[in-house]
Structure 1
Amino acid sequence: MNYIKTLTTIFSMLICVTLFAQGPPGGGRGGMQGGNQQRGGRPDASKILSMLDTNNDDVIDKDEATEDKRGKIAEDFDEIDTDDDGFINLEELEVSLSNKKGPKMMSPEKLIEQVDDNGDGTLNELEVAAKQQEELVENFEAIDTNDDKELDVEELKVFYESKANSKRRKRRN
C-alpha cells in the first residue's frame, strides 16, 4: 500500500513540475505584445520608451505610462522614477527592467521618507538596519562624513553620486 502511495506522489510531482516548467501559454514571459522583448526574455527599454513616449520628449510621464498594456509601468511609476522628477528616462527604465540583484537606486529624499521611522529627516543605524538597507549598513561610517551618527540628504547624495560615477568609469573601460 505504501508503495502505491509513494509512486502516486512521485508521479503527481513530475506532472506538476513538467506543467510549471513550460511557462505561460505562447512561450512568453507575460511581457508586452508585439516582439518587444529581446531573445532571452528581457524587455528592451529603448523600445518600450519609444512606444510609450507619445510626445517624443525622450521620457515617459504618468499619462504616457498608462499606455503600458500590462499596467506595470504606471503601477510602479514612483519606484521606477528614482530621481523623483515626475518622468521615467531611459536609464531609470533600464534599471527597472534589469535582472540585477539588490535594491534599485532611489533618490535620497525618497529613501529618507521610506526609512526614517522617527521623523527627524535623517537616518540612524537602527533605522537603516531595521529596513534592511544593506548597502547603507555596510557603508554607514563612510557615508556619515560629519560623524554625527546620522545620514542626511546631502551625505546620501554624495554617496550615490560617487557610486554612479564609479559605475560610469567601469563601463567606459
Structure 2
Amino acid sequence: GRPGIARADQDYIAAMVVNHILGGGSFTSRLFQEVREKRGLTYSVYSSLTTAECSPSLIGATSTKNERAGESLSVIEAECARLAAEGPTAEELDKAKKFLTGSYALRFDTSTKIAGHLLHLQREGFDAGYLDRRNAEVEAVTMEDAKRVAKRLIGDASLLVAIVGRPEGLVANGAA
C-alpha cells in the first residue's frame, strides 16, 4: 500500500477511476491482466482506495506460491510505475468510467444495500444530491485528470509491503 487521497479531496473521483484501472476489481484491470492472465501468478490480485479520515490509502493484495512471490511483487511494482509514468490509455479510461457509472446502480438493488450505502454517504458528509451528481463526476474525469492523479496517487511506485509465508526471491531490509 501507500498513502491515498481523501474522500473530500477534489481529486478523489479521478483517483477512483485510476484505481479501477490499476486493480479495482474488474477483469480488465492492469494488475489482473499482468499478474493473473499473462503470467498465471495468482488467482486474485486487486487494489482499492480506503477513505479513513486519518489516513486514506491505496491498498492492494494478492496471494501466490512462495517461489513466485518475488516475481509477483515485481510485476505489481512495474505496473504501478508504468501507470504513474504514462497514465492510462484512452481505452482503459473509457472502460473504467463506463464500469464505474454502469455498476453504481448495483449498490441499490436490495433494501439492505440501499440503507447501507445511504448511511455511508451520510457519514462521508454527502447530501442527497450526490446520488444525482456522482456518475456525471465520474464521466467528467479527463485523460489529463487521470494522468495527473495517477502520478499523485502512485508517485514513485514505492510500496509498503507485508508478506506472510516463506517467500523466495525477495530482499527485506537489505538482507536476503
Shorter-chain TM-score range: under 0.3
The higher radius of gyration belongs to 1
Report the TM-score, using the length of structure 2 for normalisation: 0.25
